[in-house]
Amino acid sequence: MSKRTEISTLGHFGLIDRLTDNLETRNSSTVLGVGDDAAVIDVGDHYLLISTELLHEGVHFDLTYFPLKHLGYKVVVAAASDIIAMNGRPTQLTVSLGISARFAVEHLEELYEGIKAACKEYAIDLVGGDTTASTNGLTIGVTAVGEVAKDRLVRRSGAKENDLVCLTSDLGAAYMGLHLLERERIALDGHPNPNPDFKGHEYILRRWLKPDLRTDIIKALEAEGVVPTSMIDITDGLASDALQLCRASGCGMRLYLERIPIAAETRAMADELNADPIVAMLNGGDDFELLFTVPLEMRDKVLHFGGIDVIGHVTKRGCVLVTPEGGEIPLTAPGFAHREE
């Protein structure tokens, strides 16, 4: 190795592009590999969807304030959300663990309580995995499997000019929930009997610790006969994920700031922390909501679902955030960086 390139110079998505450049497809059943929320495999009468998540203690979660049961629940949502983003239904899950000597059997049973609860909630079968020793903390690898009818598969790459840009719920709450937990952790560090103050912040805590998997949206789309032209789940922040969708589709977007929902609880927490709720909305992470596009003529059908906001439209080029005064701010995407990153 004569040359050394620092990973930080490429960034998360640049690294993926670098490592997967010029990958060859050798099997006719491989419909879609790297480059979307899930891989797509042709299994005859439908498509099989596969996605993987890898989470490390100290990078993606802090067990100081993240109960193992909630962590187990969230890792299922994180993996299965990628299946949802392809307009599919998650069906199976495998979980692999790297475990240090710090953990007892009872700890892992608590983790699996959360995994089993999420699987029950969303009708997913836990079908396997692996465990191995680790020298440092806890590592969790989750592979989600799902299925979708061939005529209902949705990729990131199908957005068309003048399509409406739709969002399934408010953004930034999970990010504020994380910062609330961080604040209390720092404030109570070393206290013999810590008693964090979470009163009035239940909503943002739930959004971070126990997010929803938007299976309801997929069912509603099917019931109304709507197939989005493109879709992505919001895990890295609205700005980053909107740019990913635009890059895949070769298009631009105009997103209107006043149309993007931010919960009152998110704004209140931002005020407490002297933070900007718009930054949380644009660059926060782990919302697990869906950003999707539909043709203009489907507007009424989509709004009939309830809980869907039309926040903009697709353009030929350029991704901008339009302020209430009509100003245009180019979207940039540092993406979601977990606390220790």
Q: What percentage of the chain reaches a pLDDT higher than 90?
A: 77
The neighbouring-strand residues paired with 255 are 312, 321
Distances in Å between the Cα of 178 and the Cα atoms of 23, 51, 266, 269 are 37, 25, 11, 11
Same fold, 7-21+30-152 and 156-190+201-330: no
Q: What is the CATH code for 7-21+30-152?
A: 3.30.1330.10
Tens digits of per-residue pLDDT, 294-340?
999 999 999 888 899 999 999 999 999 999 999 999 998 764 444 44
Sort strands 252-256 and 319-322 into parallel, antiparallel or unpaired: parallel
- CB < 8 Å & 24+ apart, contacts of 5-11: 11/335
| CATH superfamily, region 156-190+201-330 | PurM-like C-terminal domain (3.90.650.10)
Contact at 8 Å (CB) between 152 and 70? no
Domain boundaries, the chain: 7-21+30-152, 156-190+201-330
CB atoms within 10 A of CB 226: 18
**For 93-152, how does the pLDDT look when each residue is reduced to its tens digit (9 = 90+)?**
999 999 999 999 999 999 999 999 999 999 999 999 999 999 889 999 999 999 999 999
* Mean predicted lDDT score pLDDT of the chain: 92
DSSP 78: H
More confidently predicted of 308 and 190: 308
Is residue 285 classed as helix, strand or coil in its secondary structure?
Answer: coil
| Stronger pLDDT, 23 or 34, i.e. the higher one | 34
Report the Cα 39 to chain-centroid distance in Å.
16
**Res. 20 pLDDT band, cuts 50 70 90:** low
Question: pLDDT value at position 251?
Answer: 98
Q: Which residue has the tokens 């719920």?
A: 169
Q: What's the whole-model pTM score?
A: 0.91
Residue 287 CA to residue 281 CA, distance in Å, equals 9
H-helix segments, 193-237: 202-209, 215-223
Model confidence at 341: pLDDT above 70: no
Q: Is the dihedral of CA 227, 229, 235, 239 positive or negative?
A: negative
Q: How far apart are CA 13 and CA 269, in angstroms?
A: 30
- 63 has a pLDDT exceeding 50: yes
Calculate mean pLDDT across residues 240-268: 97
Beta carbons of 177 and 201 less than 8 angstroms apart: yes
